[in-house]
Every structure is written in structure tokens, then in C-alpha cells.
Amino acid sequence: MGPGMSSATSSGEVLSFQDMILALHNYWSAQGCLILQPYDMRMGAGTFHPATTLRALGPEPWNAAFVQPSRRPTDGRYGENPNRLQHYYQYQVILKPSPPDLQELYLKSLEVIGIDPLKHDIRFVEDDWESPTLGAWGLGWEVWCDGMEVTQFTYFQQMGGFDCKPVAGELTYGLERLAMYIQGVDNVYDLAFNGRGVTYGDVFLENEKQMSKWNFEVADTEALFDLFRKAVAECKNCLANDVPIAAYEQAIEASHVFNLLQARGVISVQERASYMGQVRDLARGSCEAYMAKETERWEANFPGWSA
Amino acid sequence: MGSELPGVVGMSDFLLELRCEEIPARMQAGARADLEKLFRAEMSAAGVTLGEVTVWSTPRRLALIARGLPQATEAVSEEEKGPPEGAPDQAIDGFCRKNGVTRDQLELRDVKGRQTWFAVRNIPGRAVKDVLADAIPAIIRAFPWPKSMRWGAASLSTESLRWVRPLSGIVALFDGDVVECEIGGVVSGRKTKGHRFHSNGEIEIAGADDYAQHLRVHHVIVDQSEREDIVRKGAKHVAHEAGLVLVEDEGLVVENAGLTEWPVPLLGRFDEAFLEVPPEVIQLTARTNQKYFICRTHDGKLANAFICTANVVPADGGLAIVDGNRKVLAARLSDARFFWQQDKKVPLEKQAEKLARITFHEKLGTVADKVERVAKLARWLVEEGIVTSCAPAKAGASGEGVQPGSEPLPSQGLTKEELADLAEQAARLCKADLVTEMVGEFPELQGLMGGYYAREEGLPDAVADAIRDHYKPVGQGDEVPTAPVTVAVSLADKLDTLCGFFGIEEKPTGSKDPFALRRACLAISATAVSDDLRFSLRDVINNQPVLSSSTDSFAIFERIYGQGLGDAVDGQSAAGADKVKLQKLADEIIGFIIDRLKVQQREAGVRHDLIDAVFALGGEDDLVRLLARVHALQSFIGTEDGTNLLAGYKRAANILKKEDWQGVEGEIAQTGEEDPLAEVDDPDLKEVVAAKMALRRGKELSYTPEPAEKALIEALDEAEPRAGAAIEAEDFEGAMAALATLRAPIDTFFDEVTVNDEQPEKRSSRLDLLARFRAAVQKVADFSKIEG
């Protein structure tokens, strides 16, 4: 028992961090998913990626997989906590409509990265997902592997305040956790990144230290407040000019700036709700505008569908 | 099988399995009950008789087996009486429409000599298999999941089928034959799936009899109670093997059985160093986050062990699973240890300063404001002698003091001043743990952690205990605090919450009680009654810092009363107007507490109308005395004397009402101030009433009373002072006994004396006598509120 217990793929190798991502890419590509690249903006979770949020709207089929760097400023621990990071990777899969064998597809993806379900205890434990800022909710589970939550598995029911028609299935893998699990490592910074001697710490430890300091201590709060106001204004400008995708980007921006302000501790409990409400309005407004712009085309192409 | 003629009663059985993706564990018990209920309702509506019905659930399936079904329902003939022969066409047509028959299908029959149309519908028996084919989709559609969802391609429309998670299969077999039906694209059949990992592909079920056994072969134990038993016994067993004692937890047993189809309890160990964290923290982390059982050593201490319940028979005997779970727990425990160590560095007094940053309620200030009020009130409760350092008179079931780390009554023998100081100190610190890291992570540990931190910094045990227990009692049946310091803080906290929210018009309505005021009420009355605390609710409410204008919480007071403070009613001083408002508020709060008391006491078999009867006396707002009176009243009403006296009282009251006889009481009311209602409680007036009564009684009758009349007068002369003295001495049985002596005289009086005599003097005297009788009884309880 103890350190050194690791999980190997059927070919007997223990995957490095990057190989695990490649294995997932190959697997989901073979299932017909588009393999997208990360969105080039700071965001709290892969769900914010327009390929999830906006594409969950409307009737068009959509199958995509991508890695999304996720930033949670308040989770920063200056590189001192073996499990918590302010910047980490999520692997997102979105399948619309949700296929009938989504659970089986998911379980096979675990086998591809070396998790043998007869050696480990895989469980689907109730965990309903809700994002008030996105006006979104869904039912599903957190998937446990030997008691550890490795994936959030959700059937989206609403997005941006709209019923999902049809429902999309969303899988969010916590890549670092899974890799730590597969490699039998207790500290995230000890993860083998490439299998040739470079660790996760080599790549990210200094980044975590500096960014934690910036998030908690350095970031100019006046500038952040200003950024927030500007994002709100720009989002409205975009909506007024019928470019909802650009508007949505500003909602992402506002959401992240809000998270930074939270980390700096300059938003009081009372103000918090008001800021969250503003972000929600931006996100919902963007989704509404996106729907409005596409509805006519969707209705024409998908008889029986209506917003 | 299956070839019997319709109507021939055969003993058939039916198996239904609804397979879906993982059903939340917490919903499974409800789902089983709903499945059985819906099935029985469908069968009963179709006239299908049923034998035994069994329902099972696993995370991936709901199953029902019904036995003793007929092959077909019996043919029935229903008839409906219609209009008579010769009725207008319209009426007859309407009758036909209503009954779904044509005119030539009507039959004429003789009803009491009159030819009348009858609609006769012969409903043929139906094959039960067909009934089931209709019932299955109906059951699925009507299923009341607490939360349900849409899925898949069909969800292009929001009208698509909803289920708790995607529905993936239906097995429906009647005597082994497939009951054909389809819903939401799922077609019934005999194929299902076994365990997710221990079974491959589909398996075929022959019928109800082989279902459970066949699944077992494929590593599914479909009977939840059997899985629960495996978890229960298995956890005990692995603990025993490790030389430990399982901390039993039925909730976890059920939850783990609801998360597995093939439960395998496994024991693992965590680093002993984590045991420095309070055991409750470890248990909570293990239980809520990970659903693990914990164990104790034989000397009762928490052991560094956990028991997880796997859903597979692991190839390596469980090494990898246990190791994985150990890591997860270790990560959580190291967070907890970090919080514990960080929090201990900051004294509670310092933490409490941060409470000024947390809003309690926007109209009631910050948590720091609340703490200030609670501290004042806790001190006042001690100074007023409401909470004393003596052991409560009846420290009953809850007083056994299972409180580790402290003497049973650490504050015994303290002076009032010392006790007041401790209560104030504990109150000032009681919410400080809300800003600790640990409580931020585990809100359930509020209070408990404060108690630990207080002890760690060396505060007196009485203070630490009070911080720990001041939220108690949390619900009906929860332990009621008995230690004086705890009682003072607990009571003060709840009174402040209750009065504060009533003050800002945030009262519970219907099922909405967002500030848990009902629970606060329950706690107040449970504490008062169980600890025998004697106080007038009105006095206590009038002394609430949250409602008081004389303290520095003036700002809150102003908010409570809005502009009311400034715009006093014309001609009255502002203070007078406030007093009236405050009294109205107090009435409202007391009324609310009494209502909750009725609910609380219902379980103890106390009649709510008797609580009303005692409370209606007006002055009675001491909960302990109120209940003592109610108890005495309830036993009295149960006796023959009581029942008859009640009857006599009602008769007297009815006569007085019919005659509109105000009597002595009415006269007095007229002489009062401009608003008699407002003056009811005026002690000055009570003397006036008494004097008037004495004067009346002193009056000689101008005629010779009849024996029964005389007897009643004498009985009243005797009983009135006796009852009064008994009430004064809080001897309520005695008061009832005094009342009981009136029963025979009042019965005889009604039998033998005419109240409405022709002579006005006699009539008036006798009505006065009845009024006096009513008043005497009323002193003990308002009998008009008593039902029956």
C-alpha cells in the first residue's frame, strides 16, 4: 500500500499527464467529437467555454472535446498545498443530444487512461449541478473513483435560462486529480508531465507561487473594479450591436474579474450578491441574444423545434 | 400458463423492472413506496385484485413483484337511473350522453309505480395483461420524483418523458410473458443488465420467480434490505477483525446500500497524526463527504480507521480501493487539521470582532450586534433570577449530562453575580466560531468548534459548554440544556431571534419559516418547561434589547418601528404610543409561542383547547404554570365531576348570553376607562372589581331563596376563596377540587330553580348568581374554550 500504487493501461504503461490528455483526445475523437483547443480567455471552468455554454443552446447536434485551463483565484495556496491550485486543467466533453450510452462511453474513456473498473471502485454519486451566473442547471452525478471525485457528469436541463432542447450531456474530468490517481502520486507537483523527467511542478510551481501572490496581494483592485465596469459596459455595447458571441466574451471577462476581486477580499458579503447578479444578467443577456439571432434558422432546419 | 379462460381465477404473478441510470440513494425509499402506491391505484381502478406486492430498488433499477393476480378482471354491469318515461327529449338525450349510450340501449323499469329509463352498461372483463400494458406507461408518466429530467434526442421537445435519470429499460412479465408496452422510446421486454462491471451484456429474465436469483448470479442483490444487512454486518465484521468497534450509523447503512448493487465493506487506516483534530470533525468529514463509517478502540476513543463500501469484488482484495480512499480522506483531514491549527492561534474574543462584518439581517444589524443583545439578555435572565445556579427542579431525561470535558453542573454554587458574568462572557463568544476556518468549511460544526476552541484557550468549562450547546435544543426530542450558563445563553439567543424577526414583520407564513422561528419557539418552551424556568413571557419580551429603545440598539428599534416613533398619535406622548405598539407586538409573540406550545404538547397528549382555555385567562404567560394548570384541568375534565361541571358552565353561559346579562363584570367594564379592553389587565381595576363583587355578595336577598339556590350560594361562598387560594399557591389540583364542589349544587339548581322567574328581583338575583358561578369557574380556566 501507499505511494507508488499506480494504474496502468492495457498495454501496461502508466500514462504521463500529457499522454493522458492525448489518450482522451484520441478516444473522444474516435467517438466523433470535434477536438477543440482551449478558449483564449481566463475562466473559472470549462463550462464557460462558448463551445459548451452557447452550443448547449438550440437544436443543432454538437459533439466536442477540449482541455480548458481553469482559474480559481481563491483556491491558490502559493504552491504549498499538494491538492489545491489556482490554475488547473479541465477536460470537457459535450455531446448534444446526450447519447443513450453516455455512461458506457465515459467508463470506456477511464479504461483508456488506465483505470480498471474491477480493481477500482467507480461510482455515480448524486450531484446536481447549478450555475446561477450562467442561469444553468442540470442533473447528474459526481463520479467517484475509490472515493475521489474524478468527473462531473451532467445532463444540462437549462442554459442561460432557456430549456435545453435537446439536452446535452457534459463530462468534466479533473485532469490533475485523475493523473495523480493514475500515477499514484500524492502531490500534484510530483506528477510526471511528459514521462521523460519533467514534472508538473517544473512547469507550474513557480507559476502557482507568483499567481497566488498576485491574486491575493498584488492585483490592483481599482484597476480590477474598472475592468469589471468596462466589461459590463462593453457587453451591453455588444448586445446593442447584435454581436452576442462578443457579448458573451465580456460576460466571461466580468465573471473572472469578479473572482479576482473576491480573492482580494474587497467585495463585502452584501455586495457579493449584486456583483453575481450583474454577471448573471450579462451571461443571460448574451445567451438570449444568441438564441434570438439563431432562432429563425433553427426553426427552419429543425421542424417541430421552437425556442 | 397464460391460456386460461378470461374470468377464471388463476394465481398469476407480475414482474416489473424499471432500469435507469443511477438513482440518488436518498430517493430510493420514496420511489419504492411510490411505485407500490401507483401500481395498487392502477390495479384497483381497473378492478384487478392483488395478493402480495414486493418492491425493491438498487441504484440502477426499481422492481415490483405482484402475486395472486387474476388472468382477467370480472365483467361488471353498471346501471344508472335516468329520467322517467315521457320526460323531455332534451333530458333523455343528456342522460344518454352522460352515460355514453344510445337511446335504444336504455331500458324501462318500474320505480315506485313509475316507468323510468335506465342506462345499463355491461363492462366485459379485461385480460389483466392488457390492463398492465396500459398501467405501466401511466405509472411511469405519473411518477412523482422529487427532481426529474429530460434526456437524449427526444428532448428536442420539452414534452418528452421525464424520469429521475435516463430510463433505459423495462422488464414487464406477466406469468413469464412479456407485457408489451412502450414509453419514451423504451420498449418492454425480458432483457435487463446485471452488475455494471461484474456482468457483461444483457441477461434474460424468465419471470417473477427467477428474477432475484438471476440477478444475484450477475452480481446484483436486488433486495435493498439484504444489501443493508450486508453493509451493517460487514462493517461490523471488518471492524471486529481489526480489533475495533464500529460506530453504528443506520443512515450510512441505508445510503451505502443505495449506492451499491453488490456492497463490499472494506477497512482502511489513516495517519494517526490526524487524531489531534476533534473526533466530530473526523467523523463529519468521513461521513458526509465520503460516506465512510468510523470506528472506536475498545476504550472508546476514535480509531484511525475508516470503512468504505465498495460496489465491486476487487481483483486485488481491495488494496487499490482502500489505498485510493485513504488518500482522499487524508487530503480532507489535512485540510481539517490545517484549519484546526490556524483557528487555535486566534482567541475567540479576537475572532468575535470579525462578526461586525457579517450581516445577521439587514434590519437587525450584524452578528456582532446580535451578540451584544444576547449578552445583555443572558445577563438579565440571571440577574432577574429566571436562570439560577441551582440544579433545575426536574432535570429529567436530558439532565444526565453526557457532556465530556466538564462536571455535570460546573456552575453549581456560584453567586448570582458570578453566574451573570459567566453567562455574559459565554454569550459574547458564542458566535465567534462562525468566522473560524473550520466552521467555514463545516457549518454543521458551529457551536461545537467554539466549545473546543474555548477549552483550548483555557476558558472556564461552563463557558465552553455554553458555547458548544447554546444552539440546543435544535428540534423536538433534542437534548435540552440544563447547565445554567448554557440555559441563559441558549434562551437569550432564541428570544432575541424570535422577537427581532417579529419586530421587523418577518413572521413565518404557511410552510415558509426562513428564519426557523418555529424551532426557536419550540426551544424556548422546551427549555422553560423541562428546566422549570419561571418567568412571565411578557416581562421577558418587554426586556428584549432588540425591542428596547433605551439601549444602544436604538437604531434597530427605530427600524422596527419605522416612522412610528416620530409620528405619535395625536394627544398621546410618543412613549405611550410606543408602549401600545410594544404590547401589541408582545401579544403577537406570546400568541405565536402558545400556538407552537400546542403543537409541541400534542404529542404528549395535551389538549390544545385546554391550553386555550387557560391561556385565555389573559394573565397566564408563565409557561410552566400554564402547563401545570392545563394538566390539572385535563385530568379534571376527564372526571365525571369535570364533565358535568363543564355542562353546567355551558348551560349557565348560554342563559346569560341569551338574556344578554352583563352582571357584575359588565357593570365594572362600563365604569372603566374609555377603552375597557385595554384596561383588562390593569391591577387597579381588579380591586375595583373585587370591591364591587363583595358589595353584591353582601346584599341581602329580598326574598327567601329556594333550597337549591341557597345551596349554590353557600357552595360558591365556600368554593370561591378555596379556588382562589389554591391558584395563588399554584395548587391547581386543589383549585379543581374546589370547583368540583360546585358540580352537585349547580346541577340541582338547574333541576329545581326557575331562573326566569316572574318576579324581576328573583330573576335578576338568579342571573347574578349564574354570573357569579361563571366567574368563579372562569378564574380557573376559560371553560368556553373547552370543546365537547
Q: State pLDDT tens for residues B345-360.
A: 999 999 999 898 887 8
pLDDT digits (tens, 9 = 90+) for B22-35: 999 999 999 999 99
Predicted pLDDT of residue B232:
97
B698 pLDDT more than 90: no
* A139, A165, A177, best to mutate vs chain B, most B CBs in 10 Å: A139
Mutate to test the interface with B, among A85, A102, A126 (most CBs of B within 10 A): A126
Share of chain B above pLDDT 70, in %: 87
The dihedral through the CA atoms of A34, A39, A44, A49 has a sign that is: negative
With an 8 Å Cβ cutoff, are A119 and B152 in contact? no
Task: Give me B608's grid cell.
Answer: 390544545
Q: How distant is the Cα of B453 from the closest Cα of chain A, in angstroms?
A: 25
The alpha carbon of residue A247 is apart from the nearest alpha carbon of chain B, in Å, by 26
Q: Residue A141: which residues within 8 A CB-CB, separation 6 or more? A: A124, A125, A126, A127, A152, A153, B22
pLDDT of residue B556: 46
pLDDT tops 50 at residue B49: yes
Q: How close does chain A come to B440, measured CA to CA in Å?
A: 14
What residue type is assigned to position B459 of the chain? L
H/E element, B375: helix B367-383
| Inter-chain residue contact A97 with B156, CB threshold 8 Å | yes
Least trusted range by pLDDT, from B94-103, B137-146, B279-288, B570-579: B570-579
Q: Which of A121, A140, A269 sits opposite B311 (nearest CB)?
A: A121
Find the residue in B nearest to A162 (Cα).
B158
pLDDT for B705 equals 84
φ, ψ at B442 (rounded to 5°): -125, 80
Q: How far is B221 from chain A (nearest CA, A)?
A: 16
Across the interface, whether the CB atoms of B312 and A121 are under 8 A apart is answered yes
Please list the pLDDT of chain A residue by residue as tens digits (307 residues): 344 467 777 777 899 999 999 999 999 999 999 999 999 999 999 999 999 999 999 999 999 999 999 999 999 989 998 888 999 999 999 999 999 999 999 999 999 999 989 889 999 999 999 988 888 999 999 999 999 999 999 999 999 989 999 999 999 999 999 999 899 898 999 999 999 999 999 999 999 999 999 999 999 999 999 999 999 999 999 999 999 999 999 999 999 999 999 888 888 766 788 898 899 999 999 999 999 999 999 999 998 898 8
Does the predicted model carry a pTM greater than 0.80? no
Question: What confidence tier does B657 reach under pLDDT thresholds 50, 70, 90?
Answer: confident
Cα-Cα-Cα-Cα torsion B26, B29, B30, B33, nearest 10 degrees, comes to: 170
For residue B19 the three cell numbers come to 432500469
Q: By mean pLDDT, which of A40-44, B567-571, B779-783 is the weakest?
A: B567-571
CB–CB contact B314 A1 (8 Å): no
Phi, psi of B637 (to 5 degrees): -65, -25
Report d(CA A162, CA A177) in Å as an integer.
Answer: 32
Alpha helices in B166-272 (DSSP H): 208-217, 224-241, 250-258
Q: Could you report the per-residue pLDDT of B173-185, keeping only the tens digit for each?
A: 999 999 999 999 9
Strand partners, A122: A145
Instruction: Spell out the residues 6+ positions from residue B29 whose beta carbon is closer than 8 angstroms to its own.
Output: B57, B254
Check A5 against B323: CB less than 8 A apart: yes
Bridge-based pairing state of the strands A62-71 and A34-35:
parallel
Distance CA B230, CA B236 (A): 10
Q: B308 vs A121: CB contact, 8 Å cut-off?
A: yes
Q: What is the pLDDT of residue B476?
A: 79
Q: Which of A107, A119, A149 to mutate against chain B (most B CBs within 10 Å)?
A: A119
pLDDT score for B576: 60
Distance CA A95, CA A104 (A): 13
If one compares A225 and B113, the residue with the highest pLDDT of the two is: A225
Burial of B86 (0-12, 13-18, 19+ CB in 10 A): exposed
- pLDDT attached to residue B426: 97
Q: Measuring CA to CA, which residue among B378, B377, B373, B347 is closest to residue B361?
A: B373
3-state secondary structure of B204: strand
Q: Is the pLDDT of residue B653 over 50?
A: yes
- Taking the C-alpha atoms of residue A252 and residue A237, their distance in angstroms, rounded to an integer, is 15
C-alpha distances in Å from residue B439, one per residue of A280, B409, B447, B452, B453: 29, 27, 9, 12, 12
State how far the alpha carbon of B586 is from the alpha carbons of B503, B534, B696, B703, in Å. 9, 18, 36, 49
Of A128, A166, A167, the CB nearest to B147: A128
Tell me the pLDDT tens digit for each residue of B620-647: 889 998 999 899 999 998 898 888 888 8
The ipTM is 0.94
DSSP 8-state class, residue B149: B
Q: Is the pLDDT of residue B8 over 70?
A: no
Beta-carbon contacts of B37 under 8 Å, excluding residues fewer than 6 positions away, are none
Strand order across the B264-269 sheet: B245-246, B293-296, B302-310, B264-269
- Residue A18, all three cell numbers: 500529457
CB B309 within 8 A of CB B260: yes
Residue of B nearest to A268 (CA): B357
Q: Which residues of A touch B327 (CB under 8 A)?
A: 148, 186
Q: Which of A117, A120, A305 sits opposite B324 (nearest CB)?
A: A120
pLDDT exceeds 50 at position B4: no
Return d(Cα B476, Cα B471) in angstroms, integer: 13
